[in-house]
A and B are shown apart, each in its own frame.
Chain A
Amino acid sequence: MLRSDQILATVEMIQKENLDVRTVTMGINLLDCRGGDIDATCDRIKKKIFSYAGNFVATCNEMSRKYGIPVVNKRIAVTPIALVGAGFHKEDFVRLAVTLDEAASSVGVDILGGFSAQVEKGMTATDREYIASIPEALAATDKVCASINIATTQKGINMDALAMMGRTIKELAEKTAHQDGFGAAKFVVFCNQPGDNPFMAGAIHGVEEADAVLNVGVSGPGVIARALERLIHHHPEPGTLQLDELAEEIKQTTFRVTRCGELIGRAVSKSLGIEFGVVDLSLAPTPTVGDSVGEIFKILGVDAIGAPGSTAILAMLNDAVKKGGIFASKTVGGLSGAFIPVMEDAMLAEAVGEGSLCLEKLEAMTCVCSVGLDMVAIPGSVDADTISAIIADEMALGVINCKTTAARLIPVPGKEAGELVNFGGLFGASPIMALKNVGKSSRFIAWGGRMPAPIHSFKN
């Protein structure tokens, strides 16, 4: 048997520190579901999803009970739908979204991702039909999430698609104005989108994947925060604890958290007979008190999130999480890093309200963490080109730094900076962030075409 102190450390982590597996996401290939018409296609999609995921939720719940660790979300990611629906028109894509929504409900998953396209270099006629369908498709469904990859380090940025993004997001928010623009919370724009990310809204089942695969997203900001607090508490004398020791604590805690995710994921995979894909090592916060990435900033020494030092802290946190997780898991992938989704993290949202966290600082922080400008509520009056331009900056960070970046911006119709928006549940709440320099980027967005790939992408 293990030593008592090791046993107790694990007990603390599970019982008192919000340890959970944030998501088990089943990726399902739908490329073989294209039928002769939309009816046949929808029928095949439903059957295929049910055939793989019929017992998925029950199996996750069974493993969760067996090991005593909650699996918070059970999700499905499918092949980017623009590929599945090649040749279909806008209204057909809306039908596909509704079908996916029904399929998700029939198997009892929380969310389904993959209402997506990959247009980093160019757009087909189908891609344009798909983009045109996004506002209506997401307004007509509850569980479907959409994402689009408009940039890669290899290909640069598709500026035509980028220009469409601002307009799409505005239209989507306005179509769901009665829910404060909630539709926009289900749509994310990517650079270097991975095909095995289990987290929403950006989960897809990449075309490089097997027919079905299980990916796991671990959680654990609460566990890391408590571990750091304990370490600091045991070193009350100034000078007895340095930053490298705090980084080491994060690393070791992440190791344990990741191992739990791997254990549950592999157990579900074995039980369902579906290949295990990756563990995504991301630190994903929830609006629950004590489960915040923002809290870790304060524990590590800045009195306000967004104060100088915040980017450095996030860089260290992100790196330590990767180091701990990569050794813990046989296969890692997805986004793997710390998330800073403003609305989903109570302390980040609070920092927006206090004015300490602004868009520019968030953007700087996204240079050193996974993903990007995530779940940021902005005034509904901001014009489409400004939204596209904010996304352009975020895409450029990803392209140049060879990393995934994304933007999930919510222009809240009829509301201005400082007003509160609340989506409830895991989507959270936040004051609307004030933006500077609105309406000054239209000439840049109007160029269209492509922003060329950077010199360091040419490695052949």
Chain B
Amino acid sequence: MRKQMIISVMSKDRPGIIASITGAIYRLGGDVADLNQTVLCGYLTMILSVSFEPEVTKEDVLAAISHIKTDCKFEVSIKEVAHNPEETEIEPPETYILTVQGPNKAGIVHGISQFCFEHNINILDLATTLKNDQYTMALQLDLTRSASSVETLQKELEEYSRQSNLTVMIQHNDIFQVTNEVSLH
């Protein structure tokens, strides 16, 4: 049984980071199952799900990544996971998109994420943009564990909009898919 590891890497962005990291993993016999990366303010962060032969240790992986020649040192964190993460990642049948728009101020992300937490809503994806001092946030949400219905959440978010001076809306993900993608699901 191969060993599963979740590896996260942060570094100043430059060409070749993914090639270097996956090269080090490849030389250790690792198989990258999944990889997600994003760049923010010139910094890259990525998270990888990798399987290795049982004799490969976290320390081996860390040493291999640390030996990569680079101007900016990689900040690396590695976790061994007991089982194949794919088994637990079941896409919920229905997801919702929550959008937040308004003038930039401190605490917007916290306020919304706290709202989600209090309603037992899992945030699957989140993206924000700041343009002309207008803050925009879009979240993909899984409501399956929440005790509140969508109608209740909509009403509460209307109230939240009024109090926070933000425009907050929640809408079924299918609407966004059908209006933006060519294929009709």
Contacts and interface: CB of A to CB of B under 8 A. Distances in A.
A69 B178 contact: no
A455 interface: no
A7 interface: yes
Interface in A322-352: 328, 330
Interface in A65-96: 65-69
B138 A1 contact: yes
B179 interface: yes
Contacts of B132: none
A437 interface: no
B171 A68 contact: yes
B17 to A, nearest CB: 23
Contacts of B172: 66-68
B153 to A, nearest CB: 11
B169 to A, nearest CB: 6
Q: Which of B97, B138, B170, B177 has the most CB of A within 10 A?
A: B138
A106 interface: no
A2 interface: yes
Q: Which interface class (under 10, 10 to 19, 20 to 34, 35 or more) fits A?
A: 20 to 34
A4 B98 CA distance: 11
B179 A10 contact: yes
Contacts of B169: 11, 15
Interface residues of B, number: 27
B25 to A, nearest CB: 27
Contacts of B159: none
Contacts of B180: 2, 6, 9-10, 256
A1 B140 contact: yes
A6 B176 CA distance: 8
Nearest to B180: A6
A14 B171 contact: yes
Contact of A262 (B170, B171, B184): B184
Interface string B142-155: 00000000110010
A259 interface: yes
Given A4-B129, A263-B174, A13 B136 contact: no
Contact of A4 (B136, B171, B174): B136
Interface SS majority for chain A: helix
B71 interface: no
Interface string B99-115: 10100000000000000
Contacts, number: 71
Given A1-B138, A4-B136, A66 B176 contact: no
Nearest to B178: A259
B184 A330 contact: yes
B178 A7 contact: no
B82 interface: no
A2 to B, nearest CB: 5
Contacts of B127: 1, 3-4
B151 A7 contact: no
Nearest to B127: A4
Given A1-B125, A1-B127, A68-B172, A11 B99 contact: yes
A7 B138 contact: yes
Nearest to B101: A8
Interface string A1-45: 111101111110111000000000000000000000000000000
A14 B175 contact: yes
Contacts of A255: 179
Interface string B33-52: 00000000000000000000
Contacts of A14: 171, 175
A436 B151 CA distance: 55
B170 to A, nearest CB: 8
A262 B125 CA distance: 27
A68 B151 CA distance: 9
Contacts of A13: 179
B140 to A, nearest CB: 5
A355 B122 CA distance: 59
Contacts of B128: 4
Contact of B174 (A65, A67, A256): A67
Contact of B176 (A2, A15, A262, A328): A2
A2 B179 CA distance: 11
B97 to A, nearest CB: 6
A256 B179 contact: yes
Nearest to A7: B138
Q: Which of A7, A9, A330 has the most CB of B within 10 A?
A: A7
Nearest to A63: B172
Q: Which of B99, B125, B154, B180 has the most CB of A within 10 A?
A: B180
A9 B97 CA distance: 13
Contacts of A7: 97, 99, 138, 176
Contact of A263 (B129, B138, B175): B175
B35 to A, nearest CB: 17
Given A65-B151, A259-B184, A11 B171 contact: yes
- Which 7 A-B pairs have CB atoms at the shortest separation, nearest pair first? A259-B178, A256-B179, A1-B125, A6-B180, A1-B140, A7-B138, A4-B138
7 contacts: A1-B125, A1-B127, A1-B140, A4-B138, A9-B179, A11-B99, A255-B179
